[in-house]
Amino acid sequence: MPRVTKAKTAHRRHKKVLRAAKGYWGARSRWFKAAKETVMRAERYAYRDRRTRKRKFRQLWIARISAAARSQGLTYSRFAEGLRKAGVEVNRKMLADLAITDSQAFAQLAKLAKEQSTQ
């Protein structure tokens, strides 16, 4: 049975890691061991933060909707309740965008929500 070396496989693996570490500072972009540790950490953070990003955007949209609703004399919860009762199905992302870009349309939604929440 012939002797098998892992030179080709190891070289490919090292190249893959070093390519991923391109742009890192100092030894982290040149030494395999340092690069591997940094790339693994970066991948962990990327995995975690893909989930965190969803939470952060939802918080941002709610804060924007809340601020716009308060300027119309409603709290966020009353605004959301009124829209739900009125049967308006607009997601938070679109409501936040309306609050910033089209304040007249948001004011109409707020008026509708106010009417529904008092009933």
The 8-class DSSP code of residue 30 comes to T
Q: Which pair of structure tokens corresponds to residue 94?
A: 């679109």
Count of C-beta atoms within a 10 Å radius of residue 74: 20
Tell me the whole-structure pTM to 2 decimals.
Answer: 0.77
Count of C-beta atoms within a 10 Å radius of residue 79: 26
pLDDT digits (tens, 9 = 90+) for 70-79: 999 999 999 9
pLDDT digits (tens, 9 = 90+) for 77-107: 999 999 999 998 889 999 999 999 999 999 9
Q: What angle, 0 to 180 degrees and rounded to 10, lies between the N-to-C axes of helices 76-86 and 103-118?
A: 80
SS3 state at 20: helix
Architecture (CATH level 2) of domain 11-118: Orthogonal Bundle (1.10)
